[in-house]
Amino acid sequence: MNPIANNVALVLSFFICLSFFPSLNAAPDVSKICEKLRHKDLCMSSYQESYIGRYLPDTARPEVIASIIIKIVVNNASDVSRNLKTTVLEGPKPLTPEVKAKYGICDHEVVTAMKELDKLRTAMEIRNRDAEKYNMKSAVANVENCEKELTSVEAQLPDKQQFDEVIVLKQMLENVEDLVKNLG
């Protein structure tokens, strides 16, 4: 046999062996964790749509799953921030200076919330419950401020999609807030 055929046979054998061990590919039972949160369906759908948690063992500790869910929320916040910037720079129609300013403030708040979530994950790793609560409250407050800014110019928004994305981000943060409370 030539070397390429040997490598192909080896790889195929490996995948065949893996198929006999379904627990290696099983996702952790996130439904038990999501069941305790305000927005259960959002928790499940965001986790299932994400690539981040696919390869966790089904015995993953709740803290590990919580950290992954926080990372999913950070990724979502990054998408929201990018969409806010895109609307201002490349939107379908020019924005008034007031609406541009509101989008800028909102984007700043979302980026700050992402930083607070990263600090939250660090606080969770070192089990600093006071820092967890502080960072969590700060992240929620940031997104609520963003929501208020967009609400104040809602009638002038060129696209309601960004507003809806901010609301979903806020709901995801409320889930993380519940998660943190349940871990403590």
* CATH numbers and ranges of domains, the chain: 28-183 (1.20.140.40)
Q: How do residues 40-76 score in pLDDT, each as one tens digit?
A: 888 888 777 776 666 666 677 777 778 888 888 999 9
pLDDT at residue 27 is higher than 60: no
Q: What is the pLDDT of residue 55?
A: 65
Residue 16 above 60 pLDDT? no
Span between the terminal Cα atoms of the chain, in Å? 59
- Could you give the percent of the chain with pLDDT greater than 90? 35
pLDDT of residue 25: 42
**What does pLDDT average to over the chain?**
79
Q: Is the pLDDT of residue 21 over 70?
A: no
- Which pLDDT tens digit goes with each residue over 132-150? 889 999 999 999 999 999 9
How far apart are alpha carbons 156 and 177 in whole angstroms?
31
Candidates 31, 37, 73, 32; CA nearest to 52 is 73
